[in-house]
């Protein structure tokens, strides 16, 4: 089971939280779901933080009453998905003295088997371009450094690692990444760097839009596997610290001009 639950929330008055609020909110939500956090090598949940128009100062973020905000949680296996599906935020979400009004909830539910069948096994027409929006700062752990750049190989490796860990269908390993690295390129992007604060540490990442292009000579089966992993990204997120709000990823239907 895979689930993406998105809550629409608002504030009644200008509301300020410390920039490091995400760690506290993640802990709070996991406690409500009776899920442990930080014990998994590969996280079985991803989380978006509160997304929407915000005013930033050095150490604080302010949310405005005329805006609508989104908060998403995704489950990548049965236990976490079921916990998210029954999570009840009631009518308010309280955090560090702030109060958010819960307006709406939207759930997208599928399964690994359904994704694989629809996007690979049924041999659909090959998708030649993938348009992705990175909603929260995205970066990749690379040796002793973090890379805040949309390298296709690192994106696909991130998605594939999670898929192979949780899905009943094994897709491949380093050979698949090597093939996709030579078959798919970054066609264009509109990105900027943005820092993500976790407790006392800040991590630089990129946000914005990217387009990946599939070469015409690409084997159709493997192009469809790439499409599968791109669609999986909306659940798993991209890169590092996805359980703490980084790497939130959505799929765009067409390229933004």
- pLDDT class of 255 with cuts at 50, 70, 90: low
Encode pLDDT of 5-55 as tens digits: 999 999 999 999 999 999 999 999 999 999 998 889 999 999 999 999 999
Beta strands in the chain (DSSP E): 2-10, 15-18, 45-51, 54-56, 60-63, 69-75, 92-95, 98-110, 129-138, 140-142, 145-147, 184-198, 201-214, 249-252
Would you say the CATH fold of 116-252 matches that of 2-110?
Answer: yes
Residue in this structure with the two tokens 């819960």, named with its chain if needed: 102
Q: Report the alpha-carbon distance of residue 133 to residue 113 in Å, rounded.
A: 25
pLDDT band at 254 (very low <50, low <70, confident <90, very high): low
* Cβ-contact 51, 137 below 8 angstroms: no
CATH assignment of 116-252, among 3.30.565.10, 3.30.530.20, 3.40.120.10, 3.30.70.1900: 3.30.70.1900
Return the pLDDT at 106.
98
Res. 168 pLDDT band, cuts 50 70 90: very high
Q: Name the pTM for this structure.
A: 0.95
Q: Are 66 and 53 in contact (CB under 8 A)?
A: no
What does pLDDT average to over the chain?
95
Top CATH class, 2-110: alpha beta
Is the pLDDT reported for residue 166 higher than 60? Answer: yes
Q: Where are the domains of the chain?
A: 2-110, 116-252
- Return all residues near 52 (Cβ < 8 A) that are at least 6 apart: 63, 67, 68, 69, 70
Is it the case that residue 143 has pLDDT exceeding 90?
no
Helix/strand/coil for 76: coil
Question: Between 78 and 200, whose confidence is greater?
Answer: 78
């Amino acid at each position: 089971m895979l689930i993406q639950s998105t809550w629409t929330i608002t504030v009644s008055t200008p509301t300020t939280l410390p920039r490091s609020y995400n760690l506290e909110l993640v802990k709070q939500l996991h406690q409500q779901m009776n899920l442990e956090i930080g014990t998994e090598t590969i996280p079985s949940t991803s989380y978006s933080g509160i997304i929407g128009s915000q005013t930033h100062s050095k150490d604080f973020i302010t949310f405005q009453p005329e805006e609508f905000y989104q908060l998403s949680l995704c489950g990548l296996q049965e236990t976490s998905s079921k916990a998210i599906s029954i999570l009840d935020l009631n009518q308010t979400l309280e955090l560090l003295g702030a109060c958010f009004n819960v307006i709406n909830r939207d759930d997208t539910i599928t399964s690994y088997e359904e994704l694989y069948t629809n996007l690979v096994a049924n041999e659909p027409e090959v998708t030649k371009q993938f348009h992705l929006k990175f909603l929260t700062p995205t970066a990749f752990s690379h040796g002793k450094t973090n890379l805040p750049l949309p390298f296709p190989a690192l994106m696909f490796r991130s998605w594939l690692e999670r898929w192979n860990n949780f899905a009943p269908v094994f897709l491949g390993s380093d050979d698949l990444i090597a093939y996709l690295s030579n078959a798919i390129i970054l066609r264009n992007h509109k990105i900027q760097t943005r820092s993500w604060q976790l407790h006392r540490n800040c991590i630089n990442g990129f946000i914005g839009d990217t387009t990946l292009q599939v070469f015409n000579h690409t084997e159709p089966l493997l192009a469809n596997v790439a499409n599968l992993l791109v669609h999986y990204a909306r659940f798993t997120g991209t890169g590092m610290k996805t359980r703490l709000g980084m790497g939130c990823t959505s799929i765009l239907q067409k390229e933004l001009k």
